[in-house]
Amino acid sequence: MPLEISGLVKRYGRGADAREVVRGLDLKLQRGECFALLGPNGAGKTTTLRCALGLTEASAGHIRLCGLPVPGQAREARARVGVVPQMDSLDPDFTCAENLIVFAGYFGIHEREIRPRVPELLAFAGLEGKETARIQSLSGGMKRRLTLARALVNRPELLVLDEPTTGLDPQARHLIWERLRRLTAEGTTILLTTHFMDEAERLAHRLAILDTGRILAQGSPREVIAAHIEPQVVEVFGDWTEADSAGGSGAAAWAAAHAGALSHRCEISGETAFCYTDDAPPLLAHLARQPGLRTLHRPANLEDVFLKLTGRELRD
C-alpha cells in the first residue's frame, strides 16, 4: 500500500501552549488511485503530509509510506515518493535543467542518467525549450509546473502534491490536471490537497474532507455528496417584501417566512439563501409567484457538502 496512516496525532508546542492540529486521523491509499485531502485553511493538511513524509515527528500514531515505517525508514521510503510542496522551493542559483539534474542527484541518480530525460520532463510540464531559463524569469505557473517535473525525476510510485494549483490561471490548472490524470493512468498513486472542489471532483477517485485535524467525510465524490447532503439546491436571491412581515426584506426575510416549510434545510450567506431539498417542485412553484426573487436550481455538489461540514465562517 502506498500510504497507510492510523491514529495520527500531531501537537505543536509544549505544555500549556500545546495545540493539537491533527486529532486521530486514519487514511489508506490504494495503489493507482488519486486521493484528495480537502480542508479549509489551517485544517491540518500540510501537517498531515509532513508527518507522512517523516519531515516532522508525529505525536502518536502509525505511518507506513511505500510499505516502510515512518519515521524509522522515512528516508528510504522518500526515495520512492515525489513531492510538490505548498511553497515553491526551486533552486534560484540554477537553470531549469540544472534544477532537475541537481535534484536527481539527491536521489543518487547520476547526471548521465537524468540528462537525457530532461527534455521529456520539461515537455511533460509544458516547459519545452526552457532548459537554460533562469528560475527568476519564470512565471508563477511555470515555477509550479517545473516543481511538478522535479517531483518526477525519481519516477515515483507515489506523488504527493500540496495545493498544486493554488494561484494558477485556468490554462495552467487544466494542464496540471491533464498531466496528473496521465500519471494515474500510468499507475502512479497521487495524494493531493486542495481548496478547489472542482479540482477534487474532477481528479479524485476518493477524497476526505478534513477540518480541525479530523476527517469529517470520506469516500468517492459521489458517495460523499449522497451521504452528506440533500440532492437538490435552490439558491434564492433578489428583492422580496411581504406586507405582513416584520419589516425585513430580501432573500433572508423570505427564507425566514417560508423556507422552513418548503425545504429541508436553508442557509443564508450574504444576500443569498441556499435551500436544500429532496423535492424541489413545490418550492420552485412557490418561488415562481414571487416576482422580485430570482432562483438558481442545481444538483448539490461537493462545495455544498464542504460548506455544510466545515461551516461558512472564515478561517484564520
Partner 1 sequence: MPRSEAPPIPVTAHFAPPRLSLRLVAVWRRNFLVWKKLALPSIVGNLADPVIYMLGLGYGLGLLVPEVEGVSYIAFLAGGTLAYSTMNAATFEVLYSGFSRMHVQKTWEAIMNAPIALDDIVAAELVWAASKSCLAGVAILAVIAAFGFTTSPLALAAIPVVFLTGLCFAALGLIMTALAPSYDFFMYYFTLFITPMTLLSGVFFPQGQLPDSVQAIAAALPLSHAVSLIRPLLLGHVPAQIGLHLGVLALITVLAFWLALGLTRRRLLK
Pick what 277 binds: partner 1, Mg ion, ligand ATP, none; C-beta below 5 to 8 Å, kind-dependent.
Answer: none
Stretch that binds ligand ATP, among 35-43, 67-75, 119-127, 221-229 (CB under 6 A): 35-43
Q: Which helix (H) or strand (E) holds 79?
A: none
Instruction: State the Cα–Cα distance between residues 100 and 111, nearest whole angstrom.
Output: 10
For the CB of residue 164, give the shortest distance to Mg ion in the complex, in Å. 12
Name the E strands within the chain.
Answer: 3-12, 19-29, 34-38, 60-65, 68-70, 81-84, 158-162, 189-194, 206-211, 214-219, 232-238, 265-269, 272-277, 293-299
Q: Which residue type sits at 21?
A: V
Q: Quick one: 215 or 305, whose CB is closer to partner 1?
A: 215
Closer residue to partner 1 (CB): 83 or 168: 83
- Considering the rule CB under 6 A, would residue 12 count as an interface residue with ligand ATP? yes
Q: Smallest distance from the beta carbon of 105 to partner 1, in angstroms?
A: 4
CA angle 264, 269, 272 (to 5 degrees): 80
Q: Least distance to ligand ATP from the beta carbon of 25, Å?
A: 11
238's contact among partner 1, ligand ATP, Mg ion, none, with CB below 5 to 8 A by partner kind, is: none
Nearer to partner 1 (CB atom), residue 9 or residue 256: 9
Residue 41 binding ligand ATP, by CB under 6 A: yes
Q: Of 81, 101, 220, nearest to 162 (Cα)? A: 81
Contact between 85 and ligand ATP per CB under 6 A: no
| 46 touching Mg ion, by CB under 5 A | yes
Grid coordinates given for 78? 522518500
From the list Mg ion, partner 1, ligand ATP, none, pick the one residue 43 interacts with, judged by a Cβ distance below 5 to 8 Å according to partner type: ligand ATP
Q: Rounded distance, CA 68 to CA 63, Å?
A: 8
Q: Which of 25, 38, 44, 207 binds ligand ATP (CB under 6 A)?
A: 44
Please provide the size of the chain in residues.
316
- Binding of ligand ATP by 310 (CB under 6 A): no
Q: What is the DSSP string of 150-187?
A: HTTTT--SEEEEESTTTT--HHHHHHHHHHHHHHHHTT
The distance of closest approach from Cβ of residue 39 to ligand ATP in the complex, given in angstroms and rounded to an integer, is 5
What value, to the nearest 5°, has the Cα angle with vertex 245 and ends 240 and 248?
55
Toward Mg ion, which CB reaches closer, 244 or 316? 316
Region binding ligand ATP by CB under 6 A among candidate stretches 37-45, 59-67, 130-138, 216-224 = 37-45
Instruction: State the residue for C-alpha cell 548521465.
Output: 112
Q: Which residues bind Mg ion (CB under 5 A)?
A: 45-46, 86
